[in-house]
Amino acid sequence: MTLILLLLIPGVPIPGCNAAPSSTALPAIRFSYPAVEDPTVTLGKYQPILDAMAAAVGRPVSIVLRNTYGEIVQDLGRGDADVGILNAFSYVDIVSRAKLSPLVRRVQAGRDTYQSYLIVRENAGIKRYQDLRGKVIVFPDSRSTTGYLMPRLMLRRHHLEMSRDFARVLLVGSHESTALAVANGTAHAGAVASYIYERLDPAVQAKLDILDLSEPIPFGPIVARAALGDRLLERIRLFFVDLNRSPQGVSLLRDAGLSGFTVATDKDYVSIRELVRRLREAGP
């Protein structure tokens, strides 16, 4: 079930956020956001940032939490959202079909890239790729870059195919659920984003081993519909880029587990576009 939370934020300026006058007569900017964790956790981390965004750009913001990146793609494609955060896979998939501008991408722990971790249950006897044959493997979402696209490529490099070499392939909706499925023995192996793995409960992490990891890839961008206009797009971009330049912004970022945001361009995702092309040429 999709959780939709519409939060109309009047926007009270905070120091250091380059605030502009707010008007409730202006339509809300509709922000489609993935609840990759428990929705209340996601809101706790990111709603304060979007409160500050509303203050900075002088427009109310309505937040729509979605379960998957696929739903966010649909929102943006239909015009049901103005701004959204995508992973790299979803971005390269939709950008050719929708008039979207990449604005910024996340920086976490000082890095603007992350990796796919192929994980296995500790003491499961899985030491190499060939040990995965006939096992149950689990993924968060078929549109996840690190939870599906990259691990498919990693498996294929070792001559393993989803449709042929596994007893079952499970999709469980989130990276945390994927890690838990492997830790509790529901699956033998799975794939998660590196930043999700690094913040797992230590008791869960202790039950897991990392079989392999992918090359670094860029975090997906925050994108906006070009119809918002260049002036508003630039104000939104500057808000995110400037967040780590004030004590209040640094505090908001820290609470969300972020170091900041950096400007995103379409060229950042050339390598992901090539990976998608290779996968599609190779077939399902």
Q: How far apart are CA 52 and CA 19, in angstroms?
A: 9
Domain 29-112+218-280, CATH among 3.40.50.10260, 3.40.190.10, 1.10.1660.10, 3.90.1150.110: 3.40.190.10
Q: For residues 173-199, b (16+ Cβ closer than 10 Å) or e, as one string? A: ebbbbbbbbbbeebbbbbbbbbbbbee
Coil, helix or strand for 216? Answer: coil
Q: How far apart are CA 6 and CA 106, in angstroms?
A: 23
Q: How far apart are CA 237 and CA 249, in angstroms?
A: 14
Q: Tell me the sheet residues that pair with 121.
A: 208
Give percent of the chain with pLDDT exceeding 70. Answer: 88
pTM comes to: 0.78
* Segment 151-163 mean pLDDT: 92
Question: Would strands 100-107 and 221-225 be described as parallel, antiparallel, or unpaired?
Answer: antiparallel
* Segment 145-172 mean pLDDT: 93
11: confidence class by pLDDT, cuts 50, 70, 90 = very low
Amino acid at 178: T
Q: Is 6 exposed, middle or buried (0-12, 13-18, 19+ CB in 10 A)?
A: exposed
Q: How far apart are CA 138 and CA 135, in angstroms?
A: 10
Question: For residues 8 and 119, which has the higher predicted lDDT (pLDDT)?
Answer: 119
CA angle 219, 194, 220 (to 5 degrees): 10
Q: Where are the domains of the chain?
A: 29-112+218-280, 116-214
11 torsion bin: left (phi>0), alpha (psi -120 to 50), beta (else): left
pLDDT, tens only, 50-103: 999 999 999 999 888 888 888 898 899 888 999 999 989 889 888 767 788 999
How does the average pLDDT of the chain come out, rounded?
A: 86
pLDDT for 23:
43
Coil, helix or strand for 109? Answer: coil
Q: How far apart are CA 79 and CA 272, in angstroms?
A: 25
Q: Does domain 116-214 have CATH number 3.40.50.170?
A: no
284: confidence class by pLDDT, cuts 50, 70, 90 = low
Query: Which ranges of 33-166 would DSSP assign to H, the alpha helix?
Result: 39-57, 69-78, 88-94, 150-157, 162-165
CATH topology identical between 29-112+218-280 and 116-214: yes
